[in-house]
Structure 1
Amino acid sequence: MNKKQGPLLSERFEVAYNQVHDALRDIVQINDDRFVVLVKVGAKKYQIIETYKKDLEQYARLRNAIVHEKMEVGFYIAEPNAKVVSHIEKIANVFSRPNYALSIATKHVVYFDYHDSILEVTAAIKEHGYSKFPIYKNKQCVGLLTAGSIVKWMAQNMESGLVNLSDIHVWDIMNYQKELLIEIVPKEINIFEVENIFEKAHKKKRKLEGVIITENGKTDEVPLGIITAWDLIEIDYTVD
């Protein structure tokens, strides 16, 4: 290596490739250690890996051509171009950072008490445009109230095209709607773990309405963020 020029492109490529490989092991966590298998399995579970699946498969072939035909330590038979090296280094950076789930969560969480007036909820829907609200009873999170449930309740209780909400409370709707599945998790949880939570619920044919993030994952803590399945779908992992 020429110290003035810095590491060769091939060396940079190999370092970044190994960083991606290590990250894939940590994320996918299967018994098969092969790079291409980790990519294939991981892409079915995680959006971040699916985003780069084709690139990573190509880089695996390129890595084999470069490294397996290396004549000696530090001597490569070919050099990848600078654009390829820059891209895999960016991917390595994306894969290696913590990716805390709170980074994609709706952070300004509006929540209500079991005894609050439903008019407070409808006012929040109008002001914030939210459709799901954590509900607390005796300072414990007991579930989610959705805008859809409020609409259904109104449809069932309408008279002559009108419905009076002045004496209706959160608990009236909560008792009416079916129980909604939620998970409460600590703020240290990462995106991959949240994706796993949604995936496990899906496999059990249970619809998970949301993952609520609190300081330590306890039901008596205020929500710091909330994640729905749509939040996972809309993650933008592009690096260009």
Structure 2
Amino acid sequence: MHDIVEEFEITFNQIHQHLKELNGYPKNDNFVELLQHSKLKHSVVRVHFDQLKQYAKLRNAIVHERISGDYYIATPHEDVVHHLKSIQKILEQPPEALTFATRPVLFFKTSTNLLHIMEAFSKHGISQFPIYDDSHHFAGLLTNDGIVRFLAQTTENGGNPALHVQASDVLGYEKHANVQFLSATASVFDLEERFEKSLNEDKKLKAVILTKTGQSDDLPMGIVTTWDLIKVDRREQDIS
């Protein structure tokens, strides 16, 4: 009994430390308060929030309501310790952001003919493509909405407005898209932080493009949108 209680306490304290780290080591490091803040940003906490709150009550009963010596008012079940360890493991070694990205990334050059890109929209059912110049510098995100705006404003002249148009010609019709870049080896926590920060700043993040170095002059290895973040929640629910 003493061993399982000790195992529970050690694992719980490790999770508490991870929560402090995720929240920048705030002055108020109350476990439940940290849970409340963390669940807004991170799926692993959000999915296991209610269970972790219950484990906190159990931990308080073990630590503060011990009757004497090794005689505890409550002791954790083996399944509880096992589950707590699985949560701690994810917090300690979160999966890479690339795990949840759409890949491989289909992208085009600024010189690519618009008709070719429109065919790709239809064939792959994708609503946006990264566009790069010949030096592999990111030029912008070309979306189906941008193409519609371009066509709407150029059809007045008659003919096929897309026949001799390049991707670079259409980018000027795109509304400013908030796109950020992140290293492909970054954790899913880093990824979620990017989206959370953009939400707090009222700057909707259209996509996070993952590259080898996290710089925009590297070719994309994966792309993540808000829809892809749903995969994170689903994965954690499957684990639980």
> Is TM > 0.5 for Structure 1 vs Structure 2?
yes
Give, in angstroms, the shift of residue 160 of structure 1: 11
Give, in angstroms, the shift of residue 113 of structure 1: 0.7
Distance 1:115 1:15, change over 3 A: same
Amino acid at match of 1:109: V
Q: 1:113 aligns with which of 109, 120, 131?
A: 109
Report SS of the residue matched to 1:45: coil
Q: 2:173 aligns with which of 173, 176, 184?
A: 176
Give, in angstroms, the shift of residue 226 of structure 1: 0.8
Question: Where does residue 152 of structure 1 map in the other structure?
Answer: 149
Q: 1:90 aligns with which of 86, 90, 107?
A: 86
Q: 2:119 aligns with which of 119, 123, 128?
A: 123
Question: Where does residue 4 of structure 1 map in the other structure?
Answer: none
Q: TM-score, normalised by structure 2?
A: 0.87
Query: Quick check: 2:44–2:87 contact (8 Å CA) kept in 1?
Result: no
CA distance in 2, matches of 1:42, 1:202: 15
Question: Where does residue 50 of structure 2 map in the other structure?
Answer: 54
- How many residue pairs match? The answer is 235
Give, in angstroms, the shift of residue 65 of structure 1: 0.5
Question: Where does residue 20 of structure 1 map in the other structure?
Answer: 15
Identity %: 35
Q: TM-score, normalised by structure 1?
A: 0.87
> Which deviations, in whole Å up to 9, do the C-alpha atoms of 1:77-130 show, x marking residues without a partner?
432223322222222222221322111111210111111111221222233222
Report SS of the residue matched to 1:143: strand
Question: Where does residue 139 of structure 1 map in the other structure?
Answer: 136
Query: Quick check: 2:101–2:228 contact (8 Å CA) kept in 1?
Result: yes
Bigger mean CA offset, 151-160 vs 119-128: 151-160
CA distance in 1, matches of 2:164, 2:12: 62
Give, in angstroms, the shift of residue 204 of structure 1: 2.6
Bigger mean CA offset, 77-86 vs 94-103: 77-86
Runs of 5+ consecutive residues of structure 2 not aligned to the other structure: none
Q: Higher helix proportion, which one?
A: 2
Runs of 5+ consecutive residues of structure 1 not aligned to the other structure: 2-6
* Runs of 4+ residues deviating >4 angstroms: 71-75, 159-164
Distance 1:175 1:9, change over 3 A: same
